[in-house]
Amino acid sequence: MFLPFFFRAPSCPLFVVLFLSISLQATEPVVSRTVTVEERQGALPPNSVFALTNAPVEGLTLAEALKLVESQQPEIHAARLDIRAAESRVTQAGLRPNPEMSLTAENFGGKGEVARFDSAEYTAELAQTLELGGKRGKRLHTAESERRLAGFAFEAKRLDIRAETTRRFVALQGAQERLALARQSLALAGEFVTAVAARVRAGRISPTDEDKARILLGQQKAVMDSVEQDVKTARVRLAAMWGSVDPHFQRAQGDTQAIPVVPEMAALSARLSANPELARWTMEIEQRKALLAQEIAARAPDVTIAGGVRRFSNTDSQAFVASLSVPLPVFNRNQGKIREAAMLVEKAEQQRRAAQVEIAASLAERYGAFTAALRRSTTLKNDILPRSQTVFDAVQSGYAQGKFAYLDVLDARRAFFDGHADYLEALVSVHQALTELDRLVGGTLSTPEKN
């Protein structure tokens, strides 16, 4: 009954309004799209984030490790997807409200003349809400700000993971250097056992000294086994950064003595603006101001216009209907949300100041740790190590000639290897502090030079 009526009235305002509404939706302006962070850096990684080559390699450089992390790390991939999700929210924010169609039947199912459908009235109506006060533009601005914030979050996550990868790479280098030192110590302990045994056979010293030397040799073997396990653990921890459970490289390749020339504190402070955790607050404040503008615009009531046609069954006639509805902002003028948004803007400004102080304090702390570790490594390398080497060589050769006692050899040996162990620890501390400085300024400091 109803459908034939509509087919008989193709020229009614219902179809005109419907056509205009569809035209408005079809001519929706395309939202301008900014090139995303991951698009500037390359395509997204493959679906399998654990897709690594199984071909073993001898040495892995830090640059190669960072490249693997950039392409395979699951958290970086997840942060990229956050940007894509934010872009989708921008698209959604730019859409207009959908039109609404209503079909109404009245005056039927009663008694008397209205007992049947002969006196029924049928109304078909199409309504469209018109957003006033620039709501759509402000909503779009807010979503675009959130998308840019997602870009800062991605960059912060990427720098965090690069920094952690560098820390683990440096830790592996330190373990490898300790293993080389332990092997050297074990070899010298074996040579010392041979020298002590020769003197025991010659009757110059007590056999107890040979037992002590062999105990020292056994201790060195235990130390080397422990350090070998540290190296294996460090390799696994590094490979885990790009999602591998089985490292396919043998060693971390690089010179721990190559230390970049770091700018002075004032120059580093000037580069703090590159830190995404600090730079993001400017966009955070802009986003919250956009949200405030959006809430202010929400005070303006939206207008809903409707038009259609009504058919009277008892007279077999029809007439046009039109309506206009506007909410009256008597009680709810969005006061609470406006005040909330204003407070969030002020809160963001306070948080930015707190972040500036915190990051500046962290920079001073890390710079102090770097300079202290650098001074310590320089002193060990240029002063303590050469002296301990001279003493160790003299005592080692003099012991075979009977010029020095057994305890003299042990003291010289301890000073020699403790000095080298301290030097390795200082180098690792230098590189770890460099990693933290690099993370704070948001980029590479400089090219490495020999310390």
- Give the pLDDT confidence of 149-180 residue by residue, as tens digits: 999 999 999 999 999 999 999 999 999 999 99
Across the chain, which distance is largest between two alpha carbons, in Å?
137
Continuous H helices in 202-330? 207-239, 265-270, 276-297
**Cβ-proximal residues to 68 (8 Å cutoff; 6+ apart), any chain:** 52, 241, 242
1, part of any domain: no
Which of 45, 85, 426 minimizes the C-alpha distance to 259? 426
Gap between the Cα atoms of 317 and 312, Å rounded: 5
Count of other CB atoms within 10 angstroms of residue 346: 11
- For residue 212, the one-letter residue type is K
Residue-wise pLDDT for 300-359, tens only, equals 999 999 999 999 888 888 999 999 999 998 999 999 999 999 999 999 999 999 999 999
112, part of any domain: no
Q: Residue 50: its pLDDT value, please?
A: 38
204, part of any domain: yes
Gap between the Cα atoms of 126 and 322, Å rounded: 9
3-state secondary structure 368-380: HHHHHHHHHHHHH
317, part of any domain: no
Torsion angle, alpha carbons of 413, 415, 418, 422, to 10: -150
Task: Output the CA angle 137-138-142, nearest 5 degrees.
Answer: 120
407, part of any domain: yes
50, part of any domain: no
User: Residue 351 belongs to what domain range?
Assistant: 31-38+60-96+131-299+334-450
- CATH number, residue 276: 1.20.1600.10
121, part of any domain: no
Crossing angle between the packed helical segments 207-239 and 406-441, to the nearest 10 degrees = 10
Flag whether the pTM goes above 0.85. no
* Cα-only R_g, the chain: 38
421, part of any domain: yes
Gap between the Cα atoms of 69 and 57, Å rounded: 17
pLDDT-based confidence at 390, cuts 50/70/90? very high
Residue-wise pLDDT for 394-430, tens only, equals 988 888 777 888 888 888 989 999 999 999 999 999 9
Question: What's the average model confidence in pLDDT over 117-123?
Answer: 84
Q: What does the buried/exposed string (b/e) look like for 18-44 if buried means 16 or more CB atoms within 10 Å of the residue's CB?
A: beebeeeeeeeeeeeeeebbbeeeeee
- For the chain, how many residues are written? 451
**Cβ-proximal residues to 245 (8 Å cutoff; 6+ apart), any chain:** 236, 239
Structure tokens at 61: 């450089």
Structural domains of the chain, count: 1
Continuous H helices in 240-334? 265-270, 276-297
* pLDDT mean across residues, the chain: 84
